[in-house]
Chain A
Amino acid sequence: MRSRWVLFAPLAIMALLFGAFIYRLSVPPRTLIESQWIDKPMPLFDLPPATEGVAGLKSSDLADGKPRLVNVFASWCIPCRAEAPQLEALHAAGVPIDGIAIRDRPDDVAAFLRENGNPFDRIGSDVQSSVQIALGSSGVPETFLVDGKGIIREQIQGVILQDDVPRIIAKLEAMK
Chain B
Amino acid sequence: MIAELGLALLWMAAALACLSLVAGVLFVRGGKSELAALVRPASIAQGVLTAASFGLLIALFARSDMSVELVARNSHSLKPMLFKIAGAWGNHEGSMLLWLTILGLSGALVALFEKRLREDTLIATLAAQAALSLGFFAFLLFSSNPFNRLPIAPPDGQGLNPLLQDPGLAFHPPTLYVGYVGLSVAFSFAVGALVTREVGPAFARAMRPWVLGSWIFLTLGITAGSYWAYYELGWGGWWFWDPVENVSLVPWLAGAALLHSVAVTATRNALRAWTVMLAVIGFSMSMVGTFIVRSGLLTSVHSFAVDPERGTFLLVLMAIYIGGALTLFALRAGTVAEGKTFALLSREGALVINNLLLTTILALVLLGTLYPIVAEAMGEKISVGPPYYNKVAGPLALILCLVMVAGPLLRWRRDDGRTLWSRLPLALFAGAAVLFALVLFGGSVGVLPLLGMTVAAIVAVASLAPLWKRNLRRTPLPVWGMVLAHFGVAVALAGMAAESAFIKERLVAAAPGETVTVADFSVRFQGVEPVAGPNYTAVKATLIAATPDGDRFVLHPAARTFPGLMGGAPTETNEAALLTRPGGQLYAVIGQPVTGADGAQRYQLRLWWKPLVWWIWLGGALIAIGAAMAMLGRAQLLAIWRARQARKREERFA
**Binary contact readout A10-41 vs B (1 if CB under 8 angstroms, 0 otherwise):** 11001001101111110111110000000000
Main SS class of interface, A: helix
- Does residue A92 face the partner (Cβ distance < 8 Å to B)? no
- Does residue A7 face the partner (Cβ distance < 8 Å to B)? yes
In the complex, the answer to whether B299 meets A14 with C-beta atoms within 8 Å is no
Contact of B373 among A10, A14, A24 (CB under 8 A): A24
- Does residue A167 face the partner (Cβ distance < 8 Å to B)? no
Cβ-closest chain A residue relative to B292:
A21
In the complex, the answer to whether A10 meets B297 with C-beta atoms within 8 Å is no
Complex alpha-carbon distance, A7 and B338, angstroms:
13
In the complex, the answer to whether B315 meets A25 with C-beta atoms within 8 Å is yes
- We find that the number of chain B residues with CB closer than 8 angstroms to chain A is 31
Counting chain B CB atoms within 10 Å of each CB, the highest count among A3, A14, A22, A23 belongs to: A14
Stretch at the interface among B41-49, B321-329, B444-452: B321-329
In the complex, the answer to whether A18 meets B329 with C-beta atoms within 8 Å is no
In the complex, the answer to whether B312 meets A25 with C-beta atoms within 8 Å is yes
- Residues of A near B273 (CB, < 8 A) are 7
**Binary contact readout B295-314 vs A (1 if CB under 8 angstroms, 0 otherwise):** 10101000000001001100
* Interchain nearest-CB distance for B272 vs A (Å): 13
In the complex, the answer to whether B322 meets A20 with C-beta atoms within 8 Å is no
Complex alpha-carbon distance, A97 and B494, angstroms:
64
In the complex, the answer to whether B308 meets A30 with C-beta atoms within 8 Å is no
Cβ-closest chain B residue relative to A3:
B334
- Residues of B near A31 (CB, < 8 A) are 299
- Does residue B51 face the partner (Cβ distance < 8 Å to A)? no
Contact of A10 among B295, B311, B330, B331 (CB under 8 A): B330
Contact of B281 among A7, A8, A10, A24 (CB under 8 A): A10
Cβ-closest chain B residue relative to A23:
B377
Complex alpha-carbon distance, A82 and B619, angstroms:
56
In the complex, the answer to whether B311 meets A8 with C-beta atoms within 8 Å is no
Cβ-closest chain B residue relative to A9:
B330
Complex alpha-carbon distance, A29 and B331, angstroms:
37
A residues near B, CB below 8 A? Answer: 3-4, 7-8, 10-11, 14, 17-18, 20-25, 27-31
In the complex, the answer to whether B373 meets A23 with C-beta atoms within 8 Å is yes
Complex alpha-carbon distance, A104 and B562, angstroms:
34
In the complex, the answer to whether A18 meets B319 with C-beta atoms within 8 Å is yes
In the complex, the answer to whether B288 meets A17 with C-beta atoms within 8 Å is yes
Complex alpha-carbon distance, A91 and B315, angstroms:
51
Complex alpha-carbon distance, A31 and B291, angstroms:
21
- Does residue B544 face the partner (Cβ distance < 8 Å to A)? no
Cβ-closest chain A residue relative to B372:
A29
- Does residue B416 face the partner (Cβ distance < 8 Å to A)? no
In the complex, the answer to whether A25 meets B326 with C-beta atoms within 8 Å is no
Contact of A14 among B291, B312, B326 (CB under 8 A): B326
* Interchain nearest-CB distance for A161 vs B (Å): 19
* Interchain nearest-CB distance for B277 vs A (Å): 6
**Apart from the given pairs A7-B331, A25-B297, 20 other A-B contacts in the complex at a CB distance below 8 Å:** A7-B330, A7-B333, A10-B329, A11-B323, A11-B327, A11-B329, A11-B330, A14-B323, A14-B326, A18-B318, A18-B319, A20-B373, A21-B291, A21-B315, A22-B315, A23-B377, A24-B297, A25-B308, A27-B377, A31-B299
In the complex, the answer to whether B323 meets A7 with C-beta atoms within 8 Å is no
Given A25-B312, A25-B315, A30-B381, A20 and B374 contact (CB-CB distance below 8 Å): yes
Cβ-closest chain A residue relative to B291:
A21
Complex alpha-carbon distance, A3 and B333, angstroms:
11
Complex alpha-carbon distance, A31 and B376, angstroms:
11
Complex alpha-carbon distance, A3 and B338, angstroms:
12
- Residues of B near A25 (CB, < 8 A) are 295, 297, 308, 311-312, 315
- Does residue B370 face the partner (Cβ distance < 8 Å to A)? yes
Counting chain A CB atoms within 10 Å of each CB, the highest count among B273, B291, B330, B370 belongs to: B330
In the complex, the answer to whether B329 meets A7 with C-beta atoms within 8 Å is yes
* Interchain nearest-CB distance for A143 vs B (Å): 25
Cβ-closest chain A residue relative to B326:
A11
In the complex, the answer to whether B377 meets A20 with C-beta atoms within 8 Å is yes
Give residues 346-402 of B contacting A (CB, 8 Å).
370, 373-374, 376-377, 381
Cβ-closest chain B residue relative to A15:
B323
B residues near A, CB below 8 A? Answer: 273, 277, 280-281, 284, 288, 291, 295, 297, 299, 308, 311-312, 315, 318-319, 322-323, 326-327, 329-331, 333-334, 370, 373-374, 376-377, 381
Contact of A20 among B312, B326, B370 (CB under 8 A): B370
Cβ-closest chain A residue relative to B328:
A11
In the complex, the answer to whether B376 meets A29 with C-beta atoms within 8 Å is yes
- Residues of A near B318 (CB, < 8 A) are 18
* Interchain nearest-CB distance for B261 vs A (Å): 15
Cβ-closest chain A residue relative to B277:
A10
Complex alpha-carbon distance, A39 and B277, angstroms:
55
Complex alpha-carbon distance, A14 and B319, angstroms:
9
Complex alpha-carbon distance, A4 and B331, angstroms:
8
Offer 29 A-B interface pairs, CB within 8 angstroms, sorted by A.
Answer: A3-B334, A7-B273, A7-B329, A7-B333, A7-B334, A8-B330, A10-B326, A10-B329, A11-B330, A17-B370, A18-B315, A18-B319, A20-B370, A20-B373, A20-B374, A20-B377, A21-B297, A21-B315, A21-B373, A24-B297, A24-B373, A24-B376, A25-B295, A25-B315, A27-B376, A27-B377, A29-B376, A30-B376, A31-B299
Cβ-closest chain A residue relative to B376:
A29
- Residues of A near B280 (CB, < 8 A) are 10
- Residues of A near B374 (CB, < 8 A) are 20
- Residues of B near A22 (CB, < 8 A) are 315
Complex alpha-carbon distance, A17 and B315, angstroms:
11
* Interchain nearest-CB distance for A148 vs B (Å): 33
- Residues of A near B373 (CB, < 8 A) are 20-21, 23-24
Top 9 closest pairs, chain A to chain B, by CB: A11-B326, A7-B330, A8-B330, A7-B333, A24-B373, A20-B373, A10-B326, A4-B334, A23-B377
- Residues of B near A29 (CB, < 8 A) are 299, 376
- Residues of A near B331 (CB, < 8 A) are 7
* Interchain nearest-CB distance for A155 vs B (Å): 19
- Residues of B near A28 (CB, < 8 A) are 308
- Residues of B near A7 (CB, < 8 A) are 273, 329-331, 333-334
Complex alpha-carbon distance, A7 and B194, angstroms:
13
* Interchain nearest-CB distance for B310 vs A (Å): 11
* Interchain nearest-CB distance for B333 vs A (Å): 5
- Residues of A near B297 (CB, < 8 A) are 21, 24-25
- Residues of A near B281 (CB, < 8 A) are 10
Cβ-closest chain B residue relative to A21:
B315
Cβ-closest chain B residue relative to A1:
B334
Cβ-closest chain B residue relative to A22:
B315
- Residues of B near A20 (CB, < 8 A) are 370, 373-374, 377
- Residues of B near A23 (CB, < 8 A) are 373, 377
Counting chain B CB atoms within 10 Å of each CB, the highest count among A10, A22, A24 belongs to: A24
- Residues of A near B277 (CB, < 8 A) are 10
- Residues of A near B295 (CB, < 8 A) are 21, 25
Cβ-closest chain A residue relative to B288:
A17
Complex alpha-carbon distance, A17 and B297, angstroms:
13
Complex alpha-carbon distance, A173 and B376, angstroms:
35
- Residues of A near B370 (CB, < 8 A) are 17, 20
- Residues of B near A14 (CB, < 8 A) are 284, 322-323, 326
